[in-house]
Amino acid sequence: MEEEIGKKPLVLAYYVTGHGFGHATRVLEVVRNLILAGHEVHVVTGAPEYIFTSEIKSPKLFIRKVLLDCGAVQADALTVDRRATLEKYVEMAVVPRASILATEVEWLKSVNVNLVVSDAVPIACRAAADAGIGAVCVTNFSWDFIYAEYVMEAGRDSHSIIWQIAEDYSHCDFLIRLPGYCPMPAFHDAVDVPLVVQRLHKSRAEVRKELGIKEDQKVLIYNFGGQPAGWKLQKEYLPPGWICLVCGASEGQDLPDNFMKLPKDVYTPDLIAASDCMLGKIGYGTVSEALAYKVPLIFVRRDYFNEEPFVRNMLEYFQCGVEIIRRDLLTGHWAPYIERAFTLRPCYDAGTNGGEVVARILEDTALGRGPTPSKLSGSRRLRDAIVLGYQLQRVSGKDIDVPEWYTIAQSKLSSRTPLPDKNSIQITSSAKEIEDFKILHGDHHGLSDTIGFLKSLVELHSLSNNGNNSKHQSRENLAAAAMFNWEEEIIVARAPGRLDVMGGIADYSGSLVLQMPIREACHVAIQRSRPDKQKLWKHAQARQHNKGQGSTPVLQIVSFGSELSNRAPTFDMDLSDFLEDGHPISYEKAHQYFVQDPSQKWAAYVAGTILVLMTELGVQFEDSISILVISGVPEGKGVSSSAAIEVATMSAVVASHGLDIAPRDLALLCQKVENHIVGAPCGVMDQMASACGEANKLLAMICQPAEVLGHVEIPSHIRFWGIDSGIRHSVGGADYGSVRIGTFMGRKMIKSMASERLNSSTSNHNTQKVEGTNNNGTDENGMDLLETEVALDYLCNLSPHRYEESYVHKLPEFLLGNDFMENYEHHDDSITIIDKKCRYAVRAPTRHPIYENFRVKAFKALLSAAPSDDQLSALGELMYQCHYSYSACGLGSDGTDKLVELVQEMQHSKSSKSYGGTLFGAKITGGGSGGTVCVIGRNLLRSTEQILQIQQKYKATTGFLPYVFEASSPGAGKFGYLKIRLRSRST
Residues belonging to the active site: 686
Q: Give the residues across from 724 on adjacent strands.
A: 932
C-alpha atoms less than 13 angstroms from C-alpha of 219 in its C-beta half-sphere: 23
According to DSSP, residue 74 is labeled: B
Provide CB contacts within 8 A for 379, sequence distance 6+: 163, 166, 167, 170
Separation in Å, CA 627 to CA 481, 622, 690, 750: 11, 16, 19, 47
Query: In Å, how far from its chain's centre is CA 29?
Result: 34
- Do residues 719 and 919 lie in contact, with contact meaning Cβ atoms separated by under 8 Å? no
Alpha carbons 6 and 535: distance in angstroms, whole number? 67
**DSSP codes joined into one string, 923-975:** EE-TT-SSSEEEEEEESSHHHHHHHHHHHHHHHHHHS----EE--B---HHHH
CA-based torsion, 86, 87, 90, 96: positive or negative: negative
Compute the residue count for the chain: 987
According to DSSP, residue 75 is labeled: S
Alpha carbons 769 and 786: distance in angstroms, whole number? 20
- Do residues 760 and 743 lie in contact, with contact meaning Cβ atoms separated by under 8 Å? no
**DSSP codes joined into one string, 284-315:** HHHHHHHHHHT--EEEEPPBS-TTHHHHHHHH
- Do residues 622 and 352 lie in contact, with contact meaning Cβ atoms separated by under 8 Å? no
CA-based torsion, 740, 745, 747, 748: positive or negative: positive
Q: Give the residues across from 79 on adjacent strands.
A: 303
C-alpha atoms less than 13 angstroms from C-alpha of 207 in its C-beta half-sphere: 21
Which runs of consecutive H residues, i.e. helices, occur in 658-808? 663-672, 685-692, 734-771, 780-790, 800-806
- Distant-in-sequence contacts of 459-466, Cβ < 8 A, 24+ apart: 459/416, 460/484, 460/628, 461/436, 461/486, 461/982
Alpha carbons 265 and 717: distance in angstroms, whole number? 74
Number of neighbours of residue 871 by Cβ within 10 angstroms: 18
Q: Is 132 exposed, middle or buried (0-12, 13-18, 19+ CB in 10 A)?
A: exposed
**DSSP codes joined into one string, 542-576:** HHHHHHT-----EEEEEETTGGGTTS-SEEEEEGG
SS3 content of the chain, % helix, strand, coil (to 5): 45, 20, 35
